[in-house]
Amino acid sequence: EDKKKFTASLMIAAAFASFFTGVTEPLEFAFMFVAPALYIAHAVLTGISLFIAASFQWTAGFGFSAGLVDYILSFNLPLANKPFMLLVQGVVFAALYYFLFRFMITKFNLMTPGRGDDELEEAVETDSATAAPTTKEARFRQQAETILVGLGGPDNIRSIDNCATRLRLEIEDMDKINESKIKSAGVPGLNRVSKHDLQVIVGTEVQFVADELIKLKSDK
């Protein structure tokens, strides 16, 4: 209960990116590694949803990401067939997702964001004590500074890169990574790809955070 506000800020941002642009990674990565059972359920529900849409030939002429913008732009394309039915189907599957996920999370006590992470709560409280940034540039700078501390400092970073939603980092010593500190910067999750490769899921504003992180590393 005491983590709802912080968790909601993460989930709303990830949900908006998923709905508006079709970029689902921030939302999926929030539970993919901490509760893989949910991801399996997600895969099954997605397969059933695609089967139903294909069987009834409810199609849209998606050109890129299957988000709201893409949906509106492709609504009248030749490939589209009863695309409005996808909205009806979406409402039904939203209910299925909610009740199934809620049942699994409470039944098996799955550690999704905001559940049982006391270290994260302490980190958030500590960071909340500092003054809130007044501009976007300052916010990205503060977020990058928090991530940098969680990464073990500039000397622990070999290289910094990014894709559409993730920081792609080459790390010197993975044991120095403080996941709770990094998550306190408002990121949905992390993915340890290999012994030295780490991905930090930031969202669609990742480029701004990456730029600030590069500046911080070069300054120090």
Residues serving a catalytic function are 163
The rounded distance, in Å, linking the Cα atoms of 163 and 29 is 14
- Residues 182 and 171 sit within 8 Å (Cβ to Cβ): no
Query: Could you tell me the CA-to-CA distances from 178 to 6, 47, 164, 168, 174 in Å, in that order?
Result: 19, 36, 23, 16, 9
- Residues 179 and 190 sit within 8 Å (Cβ to Cβ): yes
Reading the block at residue 140, the tokens are: 């990205």
Compute and round to an integer the Cα radius of gyration of the chain: 19
Least Cα distance to 187 among 26, 25, 36, 17 occurs for 26
Q: Coil, strand or helix: which one is 192? A: strand
The rounded distance, in Å, linking the Cα atoms of 175 and 76 is 53
The rounded distance, in Å, linking the Cα atoms of 7 and 27 is 12
Q: Is 17 exposed, middle or buried (0-12, 13-18, 19+ CB in 10 A)?
A: buried
